[in-house]
A and B are shown apart, each in its own frame.
Chain A
Amino acid sequence: MKTAWEGIVAIASGFATTFKHLFRKPITEEYPEYKRVLPERARAVIVLTRDPDGEERCVACYLCSAACPVSCISMQSAERENGRRYARWFRINFARCIYCGLCEEACPTSAIQLTPYFETCERDILKLVYEKEDLLVDHGGKDKEYNFYRYAGVVTEVGDKGTHIKEDKPVNIKSNMP
């Protein structure tokens, strides 16, 4: 008898709870009308960023393409006369991309970055294949001040040997003097 009473009370309290919820304002965010501001590090469409001085950051090292678990990144590397490496073409197939962010982690120059923008639906699947011109943006993304060639020991117009950040002067191997 006691358990029966407890059961009735439990069921009644359940009904009371749902009844109370009936008068609460729904917590639904109605998407196309209201767009939630996503965190800066939310992972969606991939971009190729630029140096503070406006040059492409990508050095076409293929690390992103190697790290990509679904092999959606492909490129062709090349080198300019001033010593900078660049991608002759760079292609991301967003129809395959799983937005895991491993390419961003692999990138040594902060060139490839994921952005919070995600509204890229297309009816034609081939439109989801982005070329380099679609991917390039004219800002530094999340890492604004970074310039790879200021650190790398590669001779370019940004710096000669021994002039890069945290780099020592070249040692004269023909001499014993410190």
Chain B
Amino acid sequence: MDWILGFIILIVKLGVVLVGLLLLAAYLVLVERKFLGRLQIRYGPNRAGKFGLLQPFADTIKMLTKEDIVPAEADRVIFLLAPAVVAAEALLIFAVVPFGASITLLGKKIPMVITDLNVGLLYVFALASLGVYGVALGGWASNSKYSLLGGIRGAAQMISYELSLGLSLVPIVMLARSFSLVDIVRAQADYPFILVQPVSFMIFLISAVAETKRIPFDLPEAENELGAGYHTEYSGMRFVFLGEYVNLQVLGALVAVFFLGGWHGPLLPPVVWFLIKVLAIAVLMIWVRGTLPRLRYDQLMHLGWKVLVPLALLNILVTGAFLLI
């Protein structure tokens, strides 16, 4: 009996998270377009429904009814599989992200996380690395020079920035003394880690933006040079999934968990606090997109290897020294 109840709870949690994620992703795209529009002194979408609120549905219908084209010379299986890899990677990260403290329902304690993995942080990094495959394989399977160039750039960039991404979180693990995301949030009950680890926060933010290939690090899809980079040949819903619109939430959630104290906050319920933090990071990312120009490729590599990695290593040393004293 207990086993069945646990199973039902798990399925319900999975369903809520999946639907919530996809809905939020759809509306984050709308928020991004509206906010970016205002940054550029224009309105953004405002035709579909009041204030353009039905725009995500209009977009979805459009994307789903578009023809799913596979180029004649493309490697069919890999071409069709690549978007699934990217989408699965982004969604699976949320399996370890805690949305709130555990709640008690029907006399049973239900943790607000799908699974509290004790190596959650390593799991996140493993999945983030898998994302490279989606991009590189998608670019390669398209059999187009733009896609291939985009895929290669994507692979090089993501591998480079993965290093600083990982190193920037080592001090967090040192402070929380755990790889579990739930424990990391619990460790921030008194104060969020951004206060003690601002350098780490900046490195993580920059690396994460590079990892998700957003402006100013969107070299793999650089419109001006590569058409659309690795997703040039994709159309319809596959284009959307390869475009990784869930990534903004992944980014926001990870920053919230590692640096902003996750669900902790006064007055409001924990889940609301978590959502507010995720959205705040998302808005910050959109603001960055509206402000900064794209980096040149050598500048990108320079920033990654010569600035962020040494800085992250130094940060680990300093943190270690402080913890010893």
**Alpha-carbon distance between A15 and B43 when the two chains are bound, in angstroms:** 19
Output the nearest chain B residue to A27 by Cβ-Cβ distance: B41
Within the complex, what minimum Cβ distance (angstroms) separates B51 from chain A?
A: 13
Cβ of A30 under 8 Å from chain B: yes
* Most B CB within 10 A of own CB, among A11, A18, A19, A27: A18
With A15-B287, A18-B287, A19-B287 as given contacts, are A26 and B37 in contact (CB-CB < 8 Å)?
yes
Cβ of A2 under 8 Å from chain B: no
Q: Which of B1-46 contact A (CB under 8 A)?
A: 37-43, 46
B38 touches A26 (CB 8 A): yes
Cβ of B291 under 8 Å from chain A: yes
Within the complex, what minimum Cβ distance (angstroms) separates A15 from chain B?
A: 5
Within the complex, what minimum Cβ distance (angstroms) separates B210 from chain A?
A: 16
Chain A residue contacts of B42, Cβ below 8 A: 26-28
Within the complex, what minimum Cβ distance (angstroms) separates A164 from chain B?
A: 56
Chain A residue contacts of B290, Cβ below 8 A: 18
Cβ of B292 under 8 Å from chain A: yes
**Alpha-carbon distance between A27 and B41 when the two chains are bound, in angstroms:** 6
Chain A residue contacts of B43, Cβ below 8 A: 26, 28, 30
Chain A residue contacts of B38, Cβ below 8 A: 21-22, 26
Within the complex, what minimum Cβ distance (angstroms) separates A16 from chain B?
A: 9
**Alpha-carbon distance between A11 and B41 when the two chains are bound, in angstroms:** 20
Cβ of A14 under 8 Å from chain B: yes
Q: Which of A17-51 contact B (CB under 8 A)?
A: 17-19, 21-22, 24-28, 30
A18 touches B37 (CB 8 A): no
Question: Of A11, A18, A30, which is within 8 A of B39 by CB?
Answer: A18
**Alpha-carbon distance between A18 and B291 when the two chains are bound, in angstroms:** 6
Within the complex, what minimum Cβ distance (angstroms) separates A133 from chain B?
A: 36
Within the complex, what minimum Cβ distance (angstroms) separates B294 from chain A?
A: 14
- B285-307: CB near A (< 8 Å → 1, else 0) gives 00100111000000000000000
Chain B residue contacts of A26, Cβ below 8 A: 37-38, 41-43
**Alpha-carbon distance between A26 and B42 when the two chains are bound, in angstroms:** 4
**Alpha-carbon distance between A18 and B40 when the two chains are bound, in angstroms:** 8
**Alpha-carbon distance between A22 and B42 when the two chains are bound, in angstroms:** 10
**Alpha-carbon distance between A97 and B46 when the two chains are bound, in angstroms:** 32
Chain B residue contacts of A25, Cβ below 8 A: 41
Chain B residue contacts of A22, Cβ below 8 A: 38-39
**Alpha-carbon distance between A103 and B38 when the two chains are bound, in angstroms:** 42
B41 touches A24 (CB 8 A): yes
B41 touches A21 (CB 8 A): yes
**Alpha-carbon distance between A17 and B293 when the two chains are bound, in angstroms:** 14
Chain B residue contacts of A28, Cβ below 8 A: 41-43
Within the complex, what minimum Cβ distance (angstroms) separates A158 from chain B?
A: 54
**Alpha-carbon distance between A18 and B39 when the two chains are bound, in angstroms:** 6
B291 touches A15 (CB 8 A): yes
Within the complex, what minimum Cβ distance (angstroms) separates B134 from chain A?
A: 31
B41 touches A14 (CB 8 A): no
Chain A residue contacts of B41, Cβ below 8 A: 21, 24-28
Question: Of B37, B40, B292, which is within 8 A of A14 by CB?
Answer: B292
**Alpha-carbon distance between A21 and B39 when the two chains are bound, in angstroms:** 5
Output the nearest chain A residue to B38 by Cβ-Cβ distance: A22
B292 touches A21 (CB 8 A): no
A11 touches B37 (CB 8 A): no
Q: What are 15 A-B residue pairs whose CB atoms fall within 8 Å in the complex?
A: A15-B291, A18-B287, A18-B290, A18-B291, A21-B38, A21-B39, A22-B38, A25-B41, A26-B38, A26-B41, A26-B42, A26-B43, A27-B41, A28-B43, A30-B46
Q: Can you list the 7 inter-chain pairs with the closest CB atoms, starting with the nearest?
A: A18-B291, A28-B42, A14-B291, A26-B42, A18-B39, A28-B43, A26-B43
List 7 additional contacts besides A21-B40, A27-B41, A28-B42; criterion CB under 8 Å: A15-B287, A15-B291, A18-B287, A19-B287, A22-B39, A26-B41, A28-B41
